[in-house]
Structure 1
Amino acid sequence: MTDSSAPQSEQRVLDNLLEGYRRFRSSGWSPNRERWARLSEGQQPEVMIVACSDSRVDPSQIFDVDPGEIFVVRNVAALVPPFETTPGHHGVSAALEFAVQVLKVKEIVVMGHGMCGGCKAALTQELHGTEPGQGGFIADWISMLDEARGPVAEQFGTSGRPAERQMEQAAVRVSLENLMTFPCVRQKVGNGDLKLRGAFFAISDGQLHLMDETSGEFAPAS
């Protein structure tokens, strides 16, 4: 006896995607053909946003922007690795280099968010020691937060929303610090050609928080 539920589920997922595509064609693409024609010739976004891959945190929705306005990189916990030239596939670094050197964006916003699974795993270290494919890739990636985890765990513990929120916001600060290890970023920031910002989106109330450059603390955007 075969289980027919899997194919039906797969078809439903595809149907939902195609339904969304049809809505986009009718209300997003067709009425804005001139804009899409211009975008077909190139892009000139002024802002790069580093955000989490979490399905609940879409920068285009949060900032209500049109196509072509923001250059977005999304990964687990919205992390930027430090500058390094070791062999490997440096996806975030490549995107950063393209945004800064080719697109010449004027601002980079690192946006963390509430209820971040990656930051929670960094805090609890629940994936520590797992094999690649079983959580090891994630564990290796979020190990970038190990140093920042110490003070958070010492003051707030390793469970509960207060501790998790502190870890989520600490991750933003880590990424901002790592951004400054890139020579191209450091030079442009020093020349006043590039601005770095930290942000935090609270899923529970839909409120965006911005980081104060001096204190490193977050407060609701006015």
Structure 2
Amino acid sequence: MDAAKPLPAYLIQRYQGWKATTYSDNRAWYKRLASEGQRPRAMVISCCDSRVHVTSIFGADQGEFFIHRNIANLVPPYEPDGNQHGTSAAVEYAVTALKVAHLIVLGHSNCGGVQGCLDMCSGNAPHLEEQSSFVGRWMDILRPGYERVKAANKAEDQIRALEREAVIVSLENLMTFPFVADAVKDEQLTLHGLWTDIGEGGLEFFEPKSRSFQPV
């Protein structure tokens, strides 16, 4: 594999700094994590966006969260069709093997994936409509949310509404997984929807009765 190259110098320096400080000061904890395995209490499904730093938001340490990141923090519906499903596999492992108590979907402001979905569904991004677009086909998951946003919001308000719909659609799709629905029914698992404002540092939670997001 000729395309793989050594790490750039700045990453090597940061690693060496971490090894000499954080790891060195907590060596016993890391060895315990390695030998005893992980027992996270929660799974977090968040966006790939580099500005969304889940562990920083909640002050989490290694071993606390089982984190899965993808474009626009989406969960597809349950489709055991033999194809490769990275997000579905992560959900299955978290719920059935790790037996997490909480499953959190975390959306965010200024999401590029959600903007792409809005552009695609409104006819302004024909390249995403092409069958060869991985991003476009992934954002098809959010089309039901777009239809709800389009009908209920002015154009200038649609992006923020669709960011929140990405959370709601994912929560709805999670409940199509039999093992998720069973765990929720048996009160072994709770689902949570969150949206964070990157610039303001705000956090909102989804309240299903009013189908709205409220400040934490």
**Matches of 2:50 and 2:206, distance apart in 1:** 23
Aligned to 1:27: 21
TM-score (norm: length of structure 1): 0.88
- How far residue 131 of structure 1 moved from its aligned partner, in angstroms, is 5.0
Contact 1:123 1:153 in 2 (8 A): no
2:58 alignment counterpart: 63
Partner of 2:11: 17
Partner of 2:193, secondary structure, is: strand
Which of 161, 167, 172 in structure 2 is aligned with 1:172?
167
Aligned counterparts of 2:44 and 2:26: Cα–Cα separation in 1: 24
RMSD: 1.6
1:155 to 147, 152, 155: 152
1:101 alignment partner, SS class: helix
Partner of 2:30: 36
Report SS of the residue matched to 2:129. coil
Q: Distance in 1 between matches of 2:10 and 2:57?
A: 22
Quote how far apart the aligned CAs of 1:68 are: 0.5
What amino acid does structure 1 have at the position aligned with 2:71?
V
Is 1:204 the counterpart of 2:199? The answer is yes
- List structure 1 segments (4+ residues) > 6 angstroms apart after TM superposition: none
1:53-132 aligned within 5 A? 53-125=48-120, 126=125, 127-132=127-132
2:128 and 2:135 in contact (8 A); partners too: no
Contact 1:47/1:108 (8 A) holds in 2: yes
What is residue 134 of structure 2 aligned with on the other side? 137
CA distance in 2, matches of 1:189, 1:210: 18
CA distance in 1, matches of 2:212, 2:13: 42
Give the paired residue count: 206
Deviation at 1:204, TM superposition (A): 1.3
Offset at 1:37? 1.0
Does the residue aligned with 2:20 lie in a helix, a strand or coil? helix
Cα distance change, pair 157–121 in 1 and its aligned pair in 2 (3 A): farther
Q: Distance in 1 between matches of 2:196 and 2:30?
A: 29
- Counterpart of 1:148, as a letter, is G
Distance 1:190 1:208 in 2: 27
- Per the alignment, residue 46 of structure 1 pairs with 41
SS in 2 for 1:26: helix
SS at match of 1:40: helix
What residue is the counterpart of 2:215 in the other structure?
A: 220
Query: What's the TM-score once normalised by structure 2's chain length?
Result: 0.90
Contact persistence 1:114–1:202 (CA under 8 A): yes
Q: Which one is further off, 186-195 or 211-220?
A: 211-220
Write the distance in 1 (CA, Å) between the matches of 2:130 and 2:183.
39
2: distance between equivalents of 1:140 and 1:90? 13
